[in-house]
Amino acid sequence: MRTLYHFALSAPSRAIRIALAEKGLEAQLKVEKVWERRPEFLGMSPSGEVPVLVEPDGTTLTDGSVIAEYLDEVYADPPLIGADPLSRAETRRLACWFGQKFAREVTDNLVGEKLMKRFLALGEPDSQAIRAGKANIHYHLEYIAYLAETRNWLAGDGLTLADITAAAHLSVVDYLGDVPWADHPKAKDWYSRIKCRPSVRPLLEDRIATAPPPPHYTDLDF
């Protein structure tokens, strides 16, 4: 059986959960509290981060972007990165945009400060970082709106890792109620489309006991 080590509000783990489901690949989910730095887990993941995917033959893969590339090479149908070098470059550019730039400018400032710092016992949330995250998210939503208006999905005609990465990050920020959807109706339209895919529904059911999501979080008509 395939096993994915993850935790509920890890955006890169969510992206791999979506990618696996889009490809019709089943995986047993194991919650890994990375902040406990479990030796057996560090043996699989030198960086100590999730997601980690263990394939049925024991092959162990780390890092969200690396796992996504591997899955697309080994389980090619449906392709989630693109059919030719140029469309793959555009998908990867946007997957980097959301997986690194959005992560640094938005996710880390909001989910990192409000939730992860508590789990990691790193002290009080930094209110300046939270303000920065709430300001930065607007131009990313504008960029999503621009891309989704110009194309069918973010990187072109079909759903790709670009949409999956963006949706994974937005879904964890949305869990906190920090996505200003009302100001960005076109980005909201794009998110509605991805939110109702069967690959995305299960991860919206995850709950953190001490921090429930806002009421609109799982609504398809939000």
Question: Strand order of the sheet with strand 28-31?
Answer: 28-31, 3-6, 52-54, 60-62
93 is an interface residue for a second copy by CB under 8 A: yes
59 is an interface residue for a second copy by CB under 8 A: yes
117 is an interface residue for a second copy by CB under 8 A: no
Give me the residue label for tokens 């994915």: 4
The interface region with a second copy, picked from 84-92, 122-130, 154-162, 200-208 by CB under 8 A, is: 84-92
* Tokens coding 89: 């470059």
List beta partners, residue 156: 153
Q: What is the chain's length?
A: 222
62 is an interface residue for a second copy by CB under 8 A: yes
70 is an interface residue for a second copy by CB under 8 A: yes
State the pairing for strand pair 3-6/28-31.
Answer: parallel
The interface region with a second copy, picked from 88-96, 113-121, 123-131, 158-166 by CB under 8 A, is: 88-96
Q: Whole-number minimum distance, CB 92 to a second copy, in Å?
A: 4
Applying CB under 8 A, among 28, 47, 128, 152 the residue interacting with a second copy is 47
Identify which of 190, 199, 186 has the alpha carbon closest to the alpha carbon of residue 154: 190
* Tokens coding 11: 């955006």
In the complex with a second copy, the residue whose CB is nearer, 63 or 206, is 63
Count of helix runs (H) and strand runs (E) in the chain: 8, 4
Size of the site for a second copy (CB under 8 A): 24
Q: CB neighbours (10 Å) of residue 76?
A: 11
61 is an interface residue for a second copy by CB under 8 A: yes
58 is an interface residue for a second copy by CB under 8 A: no
Task: Report the amino acid identity of residue 169.
Answer: H
The residues of the shown chain that bind a second copy, judged by CB under 8 A, are 46-47, 59, 61-63, 65-67, 69-70, 73-74, 85-86, 88-89, 92-93, 96-97, 100-101, 143
